[in-house]
Structure 1
């Protein structure tokens, strides 16, 4: 059978998963009366809640007797490691671009990776039904982007399709039709069939799946020879070890699922059962003449966080997995499939240092662990510095902000205060398009401030650029916090009396402990307060003193917002039911001693 392997790449929210939905429907993967819902490929709970793709997934459809393997990829810069490895399975890419926004930071990042692998690009300009869209200008800016990324003559001659994923049409012109068949014909015409080399079996493992019945399942593309059921193969690992194994079962992708087969020939994607203890990037080769493929290289992480066991007074009340052994096993298991993640031991036996691509990358890992029943404490995210030519260097990112014109000056002020430098300022319709180069440290906590300053109108995106010399100190949070004095339940009476001191993160009758952060102070500096004092009851009635308490609802903070909010002496307690911010040292006297000794050292 004819085969085409294609990955769909784009910036976050440009419509990749919706396009995959339309391809599945157009090729009759589902019955006509079947209710499939939207964003079928986003099957994970977190993906559905947040409306973003986190894990790449495979589907396969048959159109005009050609099998098309479709790989849906994440669009967020923090999950670039996921994109880098799955592009190895593809022979072509559909680059999806919003007809209004045009190429964005992540578009550049994923396209660069695809061009380096010599994949054939097809450009799809989506959402041409949006008001203020500018498909011709966007087409020109995509061409400029290809040119800037040193695309070859052949890659610069890319075919372009226009359409609307939401309305279910794509065409090679701006003429609206009622199907996406021109795009499917374009995939068959422009994407080359897999290049197949002569020789014995070679297959690189680029992804993994897990089944409680079958165990770990290795996924990859057979690049040479063929793989058969019950065949003896050699597993070649990155460290040079070679192990002989037997293939128990083989599956190819069909629709949204998998179909069991006895043999898979070169060029097709398949899932192999029976390969234990493999890592992503390993090669399955012929048992007699094993030859390894080059190991997948992934960009380095730029941020780290300290993961520790939960040592708060509420330890063990919520979670199932609470010990350092549980934490270590879970993080080590994550590094097997999450290529952009690194885990190292810290000086303290109860803590591990975890390195990742950004706050969202680490936040998704913590959120996943929390839902699995883990309890842990995480520290403030720190950027990873390097020494280059004897100078201390830090990661810099390109930050792109689209904002209504009246807020542009506020955005520029916010970014320049955090050591950002403006590169581009241009008008896009009614919006102002701003591009900055900013140290990664400056991005921590910026999103919340930006949305507040622009009444939620700013659209922010950023991608790693390079390491450059350290920019000096960046101002952090301006306000201090209110810290609970004792361990008990908060009372409405106390919170009401303290409301003019700050904005609360807790409600009345909520359990708090000494050292927990319960509110943001309206001034700089921290303050220890008693929010658990009940109202004194007497048998006298007094006129005017029994006013009803009037309280503003508590400020709800997501995990990522907490990660951006905390300072170096604070941490976050994460349990299946609660996310609490607290001081690293819970005891007030100990905190005072620590700050005195630090001040003495600095003096």
Structure 2
């Protein structure tokens, strides 16, 4: 039975990530010749937009074999706007190849990616690409890697004549490359031997490097040219050595555990659901349990099953533990858990993009087509969040940045839709700051219903929790559902018209009059009760932030700190290392673009800024209010007129 390995290729835009993927597929016999990003004929960039722009947008999965090892390779986006898709892809990987350009060296997104890899403890090989390009400087970039990414980097390559077509790459000698000094920092026995000049064999050093790499503590550095195929053999040979492989003969007998990480909707309308199986075995016609992101568990009958085989998707009777499978026609979504959660699995919690835009069409008759297209795209990409306002019928999407929006415009053109986008707006959230209760009784209100609700703060990141403090059978299920669904809808606009989160809503009172009560009574009464309870509790507004990491010359520090303060950012004590300043801080999303645009002028072209989502912080100054899209139930008279269709 073949052993299995799942790897990813990551990089800053234009470092050569997709070119490296093409070279790997060529070397492993999957394609007859390596495609070129410049020529737009790459294997994994399947979208026409990807080919034209030369950037990867959607993670693509393809498999190949190296000897008796099956490797599933996931080619992921490199642009900062797609960092969430990158982070989600990492949840199903055993290891990563991080590509760095030998010309440009460490770039802003390289640092963001490396930080994420280190936080998740994912084994990582570094590949210094473009070693043949004019301007390539192996020693300079190696020093950058150690100064800016991690000091525990062991050179695997010796490079001669870099920056020219006659570049030559050989395997490095462990002793001459200083492996012992690097790995002794993480191994007390090696440190003792090093301190007492005890000879250490090359084999012992290689074995220790394998161990530390698999633990995500050390990082082998390879060099080469993906476009020319230089340095590829040592890199491919290292996959089996430095990454932890999966043995299905052992894992197949464990309880079923898998994770959906990708959904593709085919032009025919059929959905292909990609999942990584961590343990257990899935066979066609099996009935398996599936737990969705909201905690609901259902049973799924496996009808059509495909596997990744030799660069293609092919029908399969089963999927072994450790492998990637494809469920054909399934309604599962990204983030759904197959079987049970295991300790091998990294559960991804989707961050809500902080920027909102309204989307419409130039041709009014295309509105329905737009709604269907956005609904399809949201299924494929849960990081692109789309809702249609029930009252105004406005199409609202949330994005992470400008490039993501530009890609969306071009994607909609594939559907034959000319889309128009409003100016982007930063979205805040509300959280309750106290406890509030309200109740309205049948006979004392205009509805044949009794509803009582209590609201209170939930744990950070918990979202909305809906609980019952009444017996489930005290109310018909259709009425229970009407209350819960209405609670979810009403909390889209809190006291300041922002979405309310991290809140616990408990149903405390119920009552109805049979047979006159209807679900409409409960849908009409619930907003009045809920908003009164929320008004008693009070809410605080939080705005989205970005975490930033600055690397800059000391001469620019005062200018950067002054500008950061003016943009309402914060910063920690600056660190002075290797003749540069490392500055960590936060900045509101609403002022982030200004800072990004000024990095060059603030640092005389010598600074580097890394930006990643940084959660939310409470607004301390003037509280921003959102434009309310639905009638506020706190204005009881206006709300009742609205219900009666007078307004």
Range class of TM-score, shorter chain: 0.5 to 0.7
The answer to whether 1:441 aligns with 2:590 is yes
Alpha-carbon distance in structure 2 between the residues aligned to 1:34 and 1:206 = 26
Alpha-carbon distance in structure 1 between the residues aligned to 2:359 and 2:366 = 12
- 1:267 pairs, out of 313, 322, 327, with 322
1:46-104 CA distances to partner (integer Å, 9 max, x unpaired)? 11222211100111111223211111111122212212222222111112223354444
Q: Secondary structure at the match of 1:301?
A: coil
Which residue in 1 is equivalent to 2:366?
A: 321
Alpha-carbon distance in structure 2 between the residues aligned to 1:32 and 1:367 = 29
Q: Tell me by how many angstroms 1:381 deviates.
A: 1.3
Alpha-carbon distance in structure 1 between the residues aligned to 2:322 and 2:115 = 23
- Relative to total residues, which structure has the larger helix share, 1 or 2? 2
Which residue in 1 is equivalent to 2:147?
A: 141
5+ residue gaps, structure 1, are 171-179, 286-290, 474-567, 570-603
- 1:221 pairs, out of 276, 293, 297, with 276
Q: Tell me by how many angstroms 1:338 deviates.
A: 1.4
1:415-440 CA distances to partner (integer Å, 9 max, x unpaired)? 776556798799999x9999985432
- Is contact 2:308-2:325 (8 Å) kept? yes
Any residues of structure 2 matched to 1:198-277 within 5 Å, and which?
A: 198-212=253-267, 215-275=270-330, 277=331
Alpha-carbon distance in structure 2 between the residues aligned to 1:295 and 1:191 = 17
Query: Which shows bigger deviation, 102-111 or 90-99?
Result: 102-111
- Is contact 1:419-1:438 (8 Å) kept? yes
Alpha-carbon distance in structure 2 between the residues aligned to 1:439 and 1:34 = 41
The 1:118–1:433 alpha-carbon spacing in structure 2 relative to 1, beyond 3 Å, is closer
Q: Secondary structure at the match of 1:165?
A: coil
- 1:298 pairs, out of 336, 349, 360, with 349
1:264-313 CA distances to partner (integer Å, 9 max, x unpaired)? 211111212242x211122334xxxxx45678323523423242434xxx
Q: Tell me by how many angstroms 1:21 deviates.
A: 1.0
- Is contact 1:74-1:82 (8 Å) kept? yes
1:130-176 CA distances to partner (integer Å, 9 max, x unpaired)? 526313303313553789xxx99632223221222233222xxxxxx
Alpha-carbon distance in structure 1 between the residues aligned to 2:606 and 2:118 = 34
Alpha-carbon distance in structure 1 between the residues aligned to 2:74 and 2:242 = 17
Which residue in 2 is equivalent to 1:372?
A: 415
Q: Secondary structure at the match of 1:330?
A: helix
- Is contact 2:545-2:586 (8 Å) kept? no
Any residues of structure 2 matched to 1:110-149 within 5 Å, and which?
A: 110-130=113-133, 131=135, 133=137, 134-141=140-147, 144=150
The answer to whether 1:464 aligns with 2:613 is yes
Q: Secondary structure at the match of 2:382?
A: coil
Q: Tell me by how many angstroms 1:40 deviates.
A: 3.1
Query: TM-score, normalised to structure 1's length?
Result: 0.62
Which residue in 2 is equivalent to 1:97?
A: 100
- Is contact 2:253-2:279 (8 Å) kept? yes
The answer to whether 1:185 aligns with 2:253 is no
- Is contact 2:146-2:152 (8 Å) kept? no
Q: Secondary structure at the match of 1:125?
A: strand
- Is contact 2:550-2:584 (8 Å) kept? yes
Query: TM-score, normalised to structure 2's length?
Result: 0.59
Alpha-carbon distance in structure 2 between the residues aligned to 1:458 and 1:368 = 34
The answer to whether 1:81 aligns with 2:126 is no
Which residue in 2 is equivalent to 1:338?
A: 381
- Is contact 1:420-1:437 (8 Å) kept? yes
- Is contact 1:197-1:223 (8 Å) kept? no
Alpha-carbon distance in structure 2 between the residues aligned to 1:297 and 1:96 = 24
The answer to whether 1:398 aligns with 2:548 is yes
- Is contact 1:2-1:65 (8 Å) kept? yes
The 1:445–1:401 alpha-carbon spacing in structure 2 relative to 1, beyond 3 Å, is same
Alpha-carbon distance in structure 1 between the residues aligned to 2:273 and 2:428 = 35
Alpha-carbon distance in structure 2 between the residues aligned to 1:383 and 1:258 = 40
Q: Secondary structure at the match of 2:86?
A: helix
The answer to whether 1:17 aligns with 2:60 is no
Which residue in 1 is equivalent to 2:338?
A: 284
1:323-380 CA distances to partner (integer Å, 9 max, x unpaired)? xx44433333322221223334547523133222222223322331234223444222
The 1:102–1:228 alpha-carbon spacing in structure 2 relative to 1, beyond 3 Å, is same
The 1:462–1:259 alpha-carbon spacing in structure 2 relative to 1, beyond 3 Å, is same
Alpha-carbon distance in structure 1 between the residues aligned to 2:34 and 2:81 = 38
Q: What is the aligned length?
A: 448
The 1:145–1:111 alpha-carbon spacing in structure 2 relative to 1, beyond 3 Å, is farther
Alpha-carbon distance in structure 2 between the residues aligned to 1:428 and 1:98 = 21
- 2:358 pairs, out of 297, 307, 313, with 307
Alpha-carbon distance in structure 1 between the residues aligned to 2:40 and 2:50 = 14
5+ residue gaps, structure 2, are 154-185, 187-210, 434-539, 628-647
The 1:197–1:260 alpha-carbon spacing in structure 2 relative to 1, beyond 3 Å, is closer
Any residues of structure 2 matched to 1:485-524 within 5 Å, and which?
A: none
- Is contact 1:9-1:111 (8 Å) kept? no
The 1:67–1:463 alpha-carbon spacing in structure 2 relative to 1, beyond 3 Å, is same
The answer to whether 1:165 aligns with 2:234 is no
Alpha-carbon distance in structure 1 between the residues aligned to 2:82 and 2:319 = 30
Q: Tell me by how many angstroms 1:413 deviates.
A: 9.4
Alpha-carbon distance in structure 1 between the residues aligned to 2:601 and 2:46 = 32
Q: Tell me by how many angstroms 1:184 deviates.
A: 0.7
Alpha-carbon distance in structure 2 between the residues aligned to 1:335 and 1:214 = 14
- Is contact 2:288-2:302 (8 Å) kept? yes
- Is contact 1:238-1:295 (8 Å) kept? no
Q: Tell me by how many angstroms 1:190 deviates.
A: 0.8
The answer to whether 1:60 aligns with 2:63 is yes
Alpha-carbon distance in structure 1 between the residues aligned to 2:120 and 2:547 = 24
Please tell me the root mean square deviation across aligned C-alpha atoms, in Å.
4.4
Alpha-carbon distance in structure 1 between the residues aligned to 2:102 and 2:609 = 18
Q: Secondary structure at the match of 1:221?
A: strand
